[in-house]
A and B are shown apart, each in its own frame.
Chain A
Amino acid sequence: MDALGAAFGLVLQPDVLVAVGLAAVFGLFVGAIPGLTATMAVALLVPVTIFMEPVPAVAVVVTVVATAIFAGDIPGALLRIPGTPASAAYTDDAFAMSRSGEAELALGVSLVYSVLGGLVGAVVLTAAAPLLAEFALQFSSFEYFWLASLGLTCAVFMSAQSRVKAIGSLLLGLLVSTVGLDVVSGQARFTFGTTELLGGVHFIPVLIGMFAVSEVIRHMAASTSDLRVPARRIGNIFAGVAAVGRRHWRSVVRGNALGVGIGILPGAGGDIAAWIAYAVSKRCSRQPERYGTGHVEGIVESASANNSALASAWIPTLVFGIPGDSTTAIIIGVLYMQGLNPGPTVFLERPELVYAVFLTFFLANLVMLPLGLAAIKSATLLLRVPRDLLMPIILGCCIVGAFAINNAAFGIVVMLVFGLVGFLMEENGFPLTPAILGMVLGRMVEEQFMISMIKAEGNVLAFVDRPIAALLAALAVTVWAWPAVKTLRSRVAGLRPVG
């Protein structure tokens, strides 16, 4: 308890509070711009944090990540351009809500459940970090392979349209992820002899191209501004949010549990948590047919999941020094430079610092509530800007975002190509989100599959030899087989009266 008191003393300092406030504004800004990622925001802060005290340094990083992930929802809801891959899962729903005048409710739900998810993650982190870290150490390549495969099945649940077309879109995304140096052999693949493609196709320019550029093209093709979004004020945002929470409390609980569970696994993280949560939500919902058409349930569950995953990604980071995602990888560097070596010893030697780190999570999420609200209010003003001006400006930001991923014009070319591809796909009824999912998960699926094959020396039974792997495999196979079983059953039922 002395340690906890000392931790409060460390966190409730004016410099920490000011740093957290500034970091929240910075994170909201970066996250709201498609193409600028939370990872990039944190990397930019590294040289600054070197010269700070440990607690404000960590607090700044925690705040920036949390706010940037939430802010990714803003352009997704208002313009159908997800700011981060984590928000791509429910962009269609959020945008559909905006079009029917519920932009503030969609974003309010996303903000409040992001904050709630962040707080739940922080509680779990504080209460059970060492215990849960054990769980993370049970995952080898076999378990990751099955987890990633489960993630891929989300593609089929994502789309309201043709299932075959959704799978086609997913395969395209997976295929694009194979371009570049093969992770296993280190050989160049589908690069056509160019140095640029050696680095692979980054999914951020693809994301911007498919969603933003194709949206701009659609606007250009439209005769009038028929995509105008009405900006209806709904008054008290939180009243609406509370009603949603009462109706969908199961989604809140499930989303948080999924987020925490998936976030702990190094190499999984918030993006995958959001997709799986969306698919699970649709699977369990009484109204699965409304998903993708502006239904709030999926937003509640995914937004809870991606923010609760952020805090739990710190569990393996703090306990074993194994980064949970790309931002915690940077954080480990910051911690070492601050003399806070991750590992079990830090819990024994500097408990007050560990508690202070935990407290910054609570602080970051609490600060996000009012600042996020302000961001929503000012962002909805965007809807009043004439689209004929807004669309070119968005294209300008997209060009810069695509360039900034690797600071090369090649990113702009990738964005353009996938803008056209995305436009044609939508015209022909191919959903875009499975392609993004394929790109996000492609490397992981292939890598874990190949690593497992090498380890198993081709013995397929090794894939189900370990208990957790067997459990995940059973789950995946059930999910895959379910639609077939259902079709079969309905056919049999349909045949019976005749036969």
Chain B
Amino acid sequence: MRIYDGLLGWLIALGGGGVILGASSLPTPAGQPYGPALFPTLLGVGLVVCGASLGLAGRRHSLQRRWVNLASWTRSPSRQRRVILVPVTIAAYAALAPTVGFLLTMTGVLTVLMTALGRPRLETFVIALVTAGTIQVLFGGLLRVPLPPGVLLPGF
């Protein structure tokens, strides 16, 4: 998804304005001459300048007529579904893992993604389970990352 520079620049400048506005509400602490607002305000000004120059330059050489140019994947329903699956599975992991547990959730995530990429279902399930189990042993056991045990491994 490519956004026209002439539009994107002004959006960035607008964001910079938002940062300056947000920073202005930060209080200056007692006993210090400079507060937490100074640095973000400078960054906001930088974003406004940067965005504006991008916006102006974008208008000057406007080879692109449309506001937003959609990439080729957005026209294929199957590829669209695959792209959307990435954020969906990550979010699903973050939501489900604490209760369901690492092993089951990760197996599910991997199976869904590999299947979506066109691998046979049984093969993906087995590979997913082995991968999740290996991560559980290496990370959870050896590296002591406290992966959520969930319903399957309450004592691990």
Contact = CB atoms under 8 A, between A and B. Distances in A.
Interface of A: 30, 36, 44, 164-165, 167-168, 171, 174-175, 178, 182, 184-187, 189-190, 213, 216-217, 220-223, 386, 388-389, 391-393, 395-397, 399-400, 403-404, 407, 409, 412-413, 415-416, 419-420, 424, 427-428, 446, 449-450, 453-454, 457-458
A424 B145 CA distance: 31
Contacts of A189: 26, 36, 40
B32 A171 contact: no
B138 to A, nearest CB: 8
Contacts of B46: 167, 171
A395 B1 contact: no
Given A168-B54, A400-B139, A392 B113 contact: yes
Interface of B: 1-3, 8, 12, 19, 22, 26-29, 32-36, 38-40, 43, 46-47, 50-51, 53-54, 57, 71-73, 76, 79, 82-83, 85-87, 89-91, 93-94, 97-98, 106, 109-110, 113-114, 116-119, 124, 127-128, 131-132, 135, 139, 143-147
B33 A457 contact: yes
A412 B109 CA distance: 14
B39 A446 contact: yes
A391 B117 contact: yes
Contacts of A182: 26, 36
A399 B90 contact: yes
A419 B39 contact: no
B40 A389 contact: no
Contact of A388 (B51, B76, B98, B118): B118
Given A397-B135, A428-B8, A223 B76 contact: yes
A221 B73 contact: yes
A43 to B, nearest CB: 10
Given A220-B83, A392-B117, A397-B135, A453 B47 contact: no
B53 A164 contact: yes
28 contacts: A30-B143, A164-B50, A164-B54, A171-B43, A178-B40, A184-B32, A184-B34, A217-B83, A220-B85, A221-B73, A221-B82, A223-B72, A223-B76, A389-B114, A393-B110, A395-B89, A395-B90, A399-B93, A400-B135, A400-B145, A404-B145, A409-B94, A419-B90, A424-B1, A428-B2, A428-B3, A449-B39, A453-B34
